Chains A and B, each alone.
Chain A
Amino acid sequence: MEDKKIFIRGNEAVCYGALSAGARCYFGYPITPQSEIPEMMSKAMPEAGGSFVQAESELAAASMLMGAAAAGVRAFTSSSSPGVSLMQECISYMSGSQLPAVIVNMNRGGPGLGDIGSAQGDYYQATRGGGHGDYRTLTLAPSGCQEAHDMMIRAFDLAFKYRNPVLVLGDGVVGTMKEPVRLWTPSQINSHAAASWQVSGAAGREKHVLKSLYLLDGVLAAHNRKLQEKFAAMRAETEAECVETADASLVVVAYGSIGRIAKSAVRLLRSQGLKVGLVRPITLYPFPDKVLQDLAEHGKKFLTIEHNCGQMVDDVRLAIRGYADSDFHGHMPGAVPAMDDFIGPIEEAARRTA
Chain B
Amino acid sequence: MSLYSSAIIAGFGGQGIMLIGNLLAYAAMRQGLNVTFMPVYGVEMRGGTSSCTVVFSDEEIGSPIIRHPQGVIVLNQPSLERFQPRVEKDGFIIINSSLAQANQADTGRLRCFAIPANDLAEKLGNARLLNMVALGAYFKALGSLLPLESAENCLEQVSPGQSQSMLSLNAEALRAGYAEAKAL
Contact = CB atoms under 8 A, between A and B. Distances in A.
Contact of A177 (B32, B38, B68): B38
A338 interface: yes
A340 B43 contact: no
A180 B29 contact: yes
A267 interface: yes
Interface string B8-30: 00000000000000100110011
Given A7-B26, A260-B61, A338-B68, 18 more contacts: A7-B22, A116-B41, A173-B65, A176-B38, A176-B41, A177-B64, A178-B36, A178-B37, A178-B38, A178-B39, A179-B34, A179-B35, A180-B29, A257-B64, A261-B65, A338-B66, A338-B67, A340-B68
Interface in A246-294: 257, 260-265, 267
Contact of B29 (A5, A263, A338, A339): A5
B67 A177 contact: no
Nearest to B64: A177
Contacts of B38: 173, 176-178
A179 B37 contact: yes
B35 to A, nearest CB: 6
Main SS of the interface on chain A?
mixed
Interface of B: 22, 25-26, 29-32, 34-39, 41, 43, 61-68
A1 B30 contact: yes
A1 B41 contact: no
Nearest to A258: B63
Given A178-B25, A180-B35, A264 B67 contact: no
Given A1-B31, A7-B26, A7-B29, A176 B39 contact: yes
Contacts of A183: none
Contacts of A261: 62-65
B41 A177 contact: no
Contact of A339 (B25, B43, B62): B62
A33 interface: yes
A168 to B, nearest CB: 19
Closest 5 CB pairs of A and B: A264-B62, A1-B32, A338-B67, A178-B37, A261-B63
Interface residues of A, number: 28
Contacts of A173: 38, 64-65
Nearest to A266: B62
Residue among B43, B63, B65, B68 with most chain A CB within 10 A: B63
A83 to B, nearest CB: 17
Contacts of B34: 179-180
Nearest to B66: A338
A193 B166 CA distance: 55
A220 interface: no
B24 to A, nearest CB: 11
Given A7-B25, A33-B41, A176-B38, A263 B65 contact: no
B63 A260 contact: yes
A271 B23 CA distance: 32
Contacts of A5: 29
B130 to A, nearest CB: 23
A48 interface: no
Nearest to A278: B62
A174 to B, nearest CB: 9
A5 B28 CA distance: 12
B37 A177 contact: yes
Nearest to B154: A7
A101 B35 CA distance: 32
A334 interface: no
Nearest to B26: A7
Nearest to B59: A267
A336 interface: yes
A330 interface: no
Contacts of B41: 32-33, 116, 176
A67 interface: no
A177 B30 contact: no
Contacts of B43: 32, 116
A102 B11 CA distance: 39
A179 B26 CA distance: 9
A337 interface: yes
Contacts of A263: 62-63
Nearest to B28: A180
6 contacts: A116-B43, A173-B65, A179-B64, A180-B34, A261-B65, A263-B63
Contact of A338 (B30, B36, B39, B63): B63
Contacts of A1: 30-32
Contacts of A264: 62-63
Nearest to B32: A1
Contacts of B63: 260-261, 263-265, 338-339
